[in-house]
């Protein structure tokens, strides 16, 4: 019996089942995807961190007369790992113990002439676990130092070539003060198996030694020894040794649920006194805090989008249930007339719903669990949804039959005087929406307390409030349009506007759902374009051309060689450096200000490269027109620098002082870098230079398409070697600091891969795509909701000669007010919400270094207009399907109302 009733009303039962399935899929799949994306983004961010940030290193300095020796520290490697605050011990993946003598403390000389002449050789020593397993010997053997004998060393092939060392070479290490010396012998030469292995992180000078670029600069290198070798050189040279215990965490064992505990544990690690005078170096907790800020912001956005979609789905479920009850009005009234109680009607409809709805919700949950990601806790939302979708029809059926009636009323008219209860509910929604906006702007969402359910639903409340206002105001302009249409020729426009103005409650419901869905989609689109515009500005400031070539030092005439690379159109030289001196004047009485970042650009060439790259950057006219001559040069400074200075000051450029006057103040300048609040920009073409002491560029700004990046880097390194050879007076075959190339496109794409960006994209996609789909579904629902009444009207009009085309046009006239009002209202709410909520959304975490400005992309406006057209097409499609099933010729004759 129950199964037959379910089959008889299969369309309504099936619609509720599909909506329940989609709702279960939404509330389960979106959080799983968000957790999966957040974990993956966390792993990627931690993987990209330098070892000084991601690893925990415990260090203690020991004096040369330490009786214990370096080898004793190996016993503490596992002990310290087990003593780390929970849950860190379970996260430790690799660990190393090392003893080192810093290169700043040791000067090396040798028996060979190349070692004794030329620049000073600063060579550090390091003994570390895991080195021998990560390298291959190319000559000699590994060090095996003995007490009372000279220390034994192993050097990389790069160090051996630069310092002319080989197995058997002797070195003398002079310690601080130059009073004590220690003997050492090179016994082996090695090559690393994988230079990316983290075992080499603290041995970069051993793999890539640094040769001097300018006069007076030393060679910098490092060599590998053993524990006894460290003790021997430390005692002989008088240099203090540093013992280090380093622990690397496996990023794959991290997830966002344990991130807060890991952050607190890392912070506690720094407060523990591991050894007397020991220090702990790590910044992993700072990185996790920043990631947590991004994740908090994006989860708030996702909660807003999800609450809008869930609210729209629940509205559709309520409308579907109300429509099902309306279609069975006569059946339920007959049951009441035959003596059925309200409880009996509730049990009857509950038995039908219980047969389908829980299964549909369970199926949606099962499908969602196959989505990649991670669930958190029990699926309480799914259970609540199953109960809601199962109980909504019985509850509405009971409420509809509280008052029995034998005369069927008109379902296409709204009550002219709404009840006090309804007015109270509507007023409460308005008050909650306004109060929520005020609270959200004043205190935001507390990160410590998670996502606040009320505050995250404020955008939905605002949309619902706007929908209620629109529903109240809609009949008034429609009546005016109806009066004007009544004077026009033809009846179609008048009939369509009249039906839209009557607005049955079951037809006005889709209007509210449509407004919420549209506002959710537009909100996601506006936030997405706002973040995208901020990232575009960040990319422009960081790389103000097609490409940004960085190195250590290029020859002054390197532009010709770089321009010859395929794809390069034009280049301009740049010099930039941080922590440069800033003085009030050049005399001995000068006031010293805080250091600044100095950027020197050839302003006319800079403007040309920027223009050819198509970048929206305005180079100040004061810099472009500056020319070499007497007096201070014009400069653009940051507000913090301008507040310190008067009209004039002196900046240090490569140890030469240039006087300048403040010609402009700017918060940012392209090429200075993001987040730099103290900078001075000088025009290169106006600075006095001399033949033998020119300003040496360390950057080049490049304009071009399809640049051969590999060739460009090859030419850049060759130019750097040419400059280095000119300084040293000998042929240099290895670049000490290889050039790097960063394109604006790559930088912009990199912003999309940082932090919790994948979760942010999910929030945008869910809001925009889900809102659009639900809006179209709401329009179709509005057509289906009054299909019976429209069928009777069309049957009568067809007897008067109404064609099928005229019937479709009548539906368009009826739907246009509904769709246009919903699109305009929902679009206005979606566009206004980012401005209303302001900094509460935390969007600045996704474009660091640039201010977030509301940005309305024309595509969003076009999307709203497209949604109007799509909604009308959906309404026509739904009408076509309904008309086929209803057989309009029989509706008038039989008086049937059920679709």
Structural domain including 188 reads 56-281
Average pLDDT of the chain to the nearest whole number: 82
| Per-position b or e across 454-490, b if 16+ CB within 10 A of its CB | ebbbbbbbbbbbbbbebbeebbeebeebbeebeeeee
Q: Exposed (0-12), middle (13-18) or buried (19+): which is 668, by Cβ within 10 Å?
A: buried
pLDDT, tens digit, 9 for 90 and up, residues 771-797 = 777 777 777 766 766 666 666 676 767
The answer on 767 and 684 residing in a single domain is no
Specify whether 760 is located in the same domain as 742. Answer: no
Answer yes or no: is 51 within a domain: no
Boundary of a domain, candidates 724, 750, 776: 750
Higher-confidence position of 459 and 680: 680
Does a structural domain hold residue 786?
yes
Task: Say what the pLDDT of residue 217 is.
Answer: 76
pLDDT over 50 at 241, yes or no: yes
Same domain, 520 and 564: no
Predicted pLDDT of residue 453: 67
Cβ contacts of residue 541 below 8 Å, gap of 6+?
668, 669, 670, 671, 672, 673, 674, 849, 850
Residues 371 and 299 in one domain: yes
pLDDT of 899 higher than 50:
no
Which 3 state secondary structure label does DSSP give 146? coil
Residues 825 and 762 in one domain: yes
Q: Which are the contacts of 823, defined by CB distance < 8 A and separation ≥ 6?
A: 518, 864, 865, 867, 868, 871
In a domain, 824, yes or no: yes
Collect all residues with Cβ–Cβ distance below 8 Å to 127 and sequence separation of at least 6.
70, 98, 99, 100, 224, 225, 226, 227, 229, 230
Q: Which two tokens stand for residue 467?
A: 């929908």
What pLDDT, on the 0 to 100 scale, is given for residue 114?
Answer: 52
Domain boundary among 750, 778, 804: 750
Is 45 part of a structural domain of the chain? no
Closest C-alpha among 565, 558, 670 to residue 623: 670
- The answer on pLDDT for 267 being more than 70 is yes
Q: Report the SS3 class of residue 188.
A: strand
Helix axis angle, 787-798 to 757-785, nearest 10° = 50
* Per-residue pLDDT tens digits for 801-841: 667 677 677 777 777 777 788 788 888 888 888 887 767 77
Whether residue 49 lies inside any domain: the answer is: no
Residues 773, 666 share a domain:
no
Looking at the structure, tell me whether residues 165 and 277 fall in a common domain. Answer: yes
Question: 460 and 607 share a domain?
Answer: no
* Confidence band of 444 (pLDDT split at 50, 70, 90): low
Looking at the chain, the whole-number percentage of residues with pLDDT higher than 70 is: 83
Question: Is residue 357 located within the same domain as residue 274?
Answer: no
**Tokens matching residue 556:** 């002054």
Per-residue pLDDT tens over the stretch 539-590: 888 898 999 999 888 888 888 899 889 989 999 999 999 888 888 887 777 8
Report pLDDT for 895. 43
The pTM score is: 0.77
Radius of gyration of the chain (CA): 37
My answer on whether 182 and 231 are in the same domain is yes
Name the band, by pLDDT with cuts 50, 70 and 90, for residue 452. low
Query: Among residues 711, 734, 750, which one ends one of the domains?
Result: 750
Q: How many CB atoms lie within 10 A of CB 733?
A: 9
Cα separation of 167 and 152, whole Å? 10
Residue 855 located in a structural domain: yes
pLDDT for the residue 593: 87
Burial 17-45 (b: 16+ CB within 10 A, else e): bebbbbbbbbbbbbbbbbbbbbbbbbbeb
Segment 687-702 shows an average pLDDT of 84
Same domain, 76 and 139: yes
Find tokens 């209620």 and name the residue. 468
- Residue 291's nearest CA partner among 842, 851, 872, 893 is 842
pLDDT of residue 414: 46
Count of domains observed in the chain = 3
Residue 213 confidence (pLDDT): 66
Give pLDDT, residue 89. 93
Beta-carbon-side half-sphere exposure of residue 69 (alpha carbons within 13 Å): 11
Instruction: List, for residues 523-542, the tens digit of each pLDDT value.
Output: 878 888 888 888 888 888 88
Higher pLDDT: 416 or 790? It is 790
% pLDDT > 90, the chain: 18
Residue 65 pLDDT level (bands cut at 50, 70, 90): low
Residue 25 falls within a domain, yes or no? yes
> Does pLDDT of 894 surpass 60?
no
**What would the pLDDT profile of 95-142 be if each residue is shown by its tens digit?**
999 999 998 888 888 765 555 556 788 899 999 999 999 999 999 999
Residues 757, 739 share a domain: no
Q: Answer whether residue 378 is part of any domain.
A: yes
Question: What is the side-by-side strand order in the sheet with 740-743?
Answer: 582-583, 648-653, 656-665, 633-637, 679-683, 596-601, 568-580, 699-704, 547-550, 740-743
Looking at per-residue confidence, does 188 or 765 come out higher? 188
């Amino acid at each position: 019996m129950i199964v037959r009733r379910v089959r008889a009303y299969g369309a309504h039962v099936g619609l509720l089942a599909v909506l329940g399935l989609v709702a279960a899929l939404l509330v389960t799949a979106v959080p799983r995807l968000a957790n999966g994306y957040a974990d993956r983004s966390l792993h990627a961010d931690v993987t990209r961190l330098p070892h000084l940030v991601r690893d925990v290193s415990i260090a203690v300095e020991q004096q040369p007369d330490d009786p214990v020796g370096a080898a004793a520290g190996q016993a503490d490697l596992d002990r310290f790992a087990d003593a780390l605050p929970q849950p860190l011990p379970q996260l430790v993946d690799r660990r190393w113990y090392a003893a080192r003598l810093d290169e700043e403390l040791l000067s090396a000389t040798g028996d060979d002439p190349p070692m004794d002449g030329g620049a000073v050789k600063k060579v550090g020593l390091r003994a570390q676990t895991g080195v021998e397993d990560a390298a291959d010997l190319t000559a000699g053997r590994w060090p095996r130092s003995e007490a009372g004998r000279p220390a034994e060393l192993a050097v990389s092939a790069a160090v051996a070539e630069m310092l002319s060392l080989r197995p058997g070479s002797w070195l003398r290490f002079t310690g601080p003060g130059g009073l004590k010396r220690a003997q050492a012998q090179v016994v082996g030469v090695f090559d690393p198996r994988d230079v990316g292995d983290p075992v080499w992180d603290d041995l970069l000078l051993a793999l890539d030694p640094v040769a001097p670029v300018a006069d007076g600069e030393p060679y910098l290198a490092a060599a590998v020894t053993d524990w006894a070798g460290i003790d021997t050189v430390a005692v002989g040279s008088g240099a203090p040794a540093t013992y280090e215990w380093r622990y690397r965490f496996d990023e794959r064992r991290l997830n966002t649920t344990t991130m807060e505990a890991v952050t607190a544990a890392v912070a506690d690690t720094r407060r523990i006194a591991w050894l007397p005078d020991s220090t702990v170096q790590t910044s992993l907790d700072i990185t996790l805090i920043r990631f947590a800020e991004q994740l908090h912001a994006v989860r708030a956005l996702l909660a807003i989008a999800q609450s809008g979609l869930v609210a729209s789905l629940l509205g559709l479920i309520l409308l579907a249930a109300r429509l099902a009850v309306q279609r069975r009005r006569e059946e339920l009234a007959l049951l009441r007339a035959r003596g059925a109680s309200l409880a009996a009607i509730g049990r009857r409809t509950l038995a039908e719903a219980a047969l389908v709805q829980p299964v549909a919700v369970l199926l949606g949950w099962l499908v969602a669990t196959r989505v990649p990601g991670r669930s958190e806790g029990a699926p309480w939302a799914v259970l609540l949804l199953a109960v809601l979708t199962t109980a909504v029809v019985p509850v509405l059926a009971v409420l509809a039959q509280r008052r029995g009636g034998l005369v069927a009323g008109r379902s296409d008219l709204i009550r002219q005087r709404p009840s006090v209860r309804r007015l109270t509910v509507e007023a409460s929604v308005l008050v909650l929406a306004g109060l929520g906006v005020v609270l959200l702007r004043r205190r935001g969402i507390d990160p410590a307390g998670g996502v606040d359910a009320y505050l995250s639903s404020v955008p939905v409340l605002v949309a619902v409030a706007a929908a209620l206002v629109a529903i109240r105001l809609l009949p008034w302009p429609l009546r005016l349009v109806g009066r004007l249409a009544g004077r026009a020729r033809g009846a179609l426009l008048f009939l369509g506007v009249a039906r839209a103005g009557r607005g049955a409650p079951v037809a006005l419901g889709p209007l509210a759902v449509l407004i919420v869905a549209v506002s959710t989609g537009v909100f996601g689109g506006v936030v997405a374009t706002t973040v995208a515009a901020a990232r575009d500005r960040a990319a422009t400031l960081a790389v103000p051309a097609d490409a940004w070539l960085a190195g250590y030092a290029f020859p002054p005439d390197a532009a010709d060689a770089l321009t010859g690379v395929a794809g390069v159109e034009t280049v301009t030289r740049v010099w930039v450096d941080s922590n440069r001196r800033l003085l009030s004047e050049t005399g001995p009485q000068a006031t010293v200000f805080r250091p600044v970042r100095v950027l020197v650009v050839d302003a006319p060439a800079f403007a040309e490269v920027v223009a050819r790259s198509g970048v929206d950057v305005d180079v100040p006219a004061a810099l472009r027109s500056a020319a070499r001559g007497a007096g201070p040069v014009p400069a653009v400074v940051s507000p913090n620098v301008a507040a310190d200075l008067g009209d004039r000051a002196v900046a240090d450029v490569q140890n030469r002082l240039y006087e300048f006057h403040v010609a402009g103040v700017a918060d940012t300048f392209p090429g200075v870098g993001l987040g730099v609040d103290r900078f001075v920009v000088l025009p290169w073409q106006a600075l006095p230079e001399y033949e033998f002491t020119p300003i040496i560029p360390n950057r080049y700004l490049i304009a071009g398409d399809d640049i051969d990046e590999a060739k460009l880097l090859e030419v850049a390194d060759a130019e750097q070697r040419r400059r280095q050879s000119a300084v040293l007076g000998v042929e240099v075959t290895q670049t000490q600091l290889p050039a790097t190339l960063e394109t604006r496109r790559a930088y912009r794409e990199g912003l999309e891969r940082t932090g919790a960006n994948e979760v942010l994209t999910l929030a945008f996609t869910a809001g925009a795509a889900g809102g659009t789909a639900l809006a179209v579904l709401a329009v179709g629902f509005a057509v289906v909701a009054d299909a019976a009444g429209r069928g009777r009207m069309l049957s009568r009009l067809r007897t008067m000669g109404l064609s099928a085309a005229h019937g479709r046009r009548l539906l368009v006239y009826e739907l246009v007010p509904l769709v246009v009002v919903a699109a305009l209202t929902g679009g206005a709410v979606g566009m206004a919400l980012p401005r209303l909520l302001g900094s509460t959304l935390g969007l600045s975490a996704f474009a660091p270094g640039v201010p977030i400005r509301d940005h309305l992309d024309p595509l969003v406006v076009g999307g709203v207009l497209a949604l109007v057209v799509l909604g009308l097409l959906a309404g026509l499609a739904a009408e076509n399907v309904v008309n086929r099933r209803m057989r309009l010729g029989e509706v008038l004759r039989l008086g049937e109302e059920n679709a």
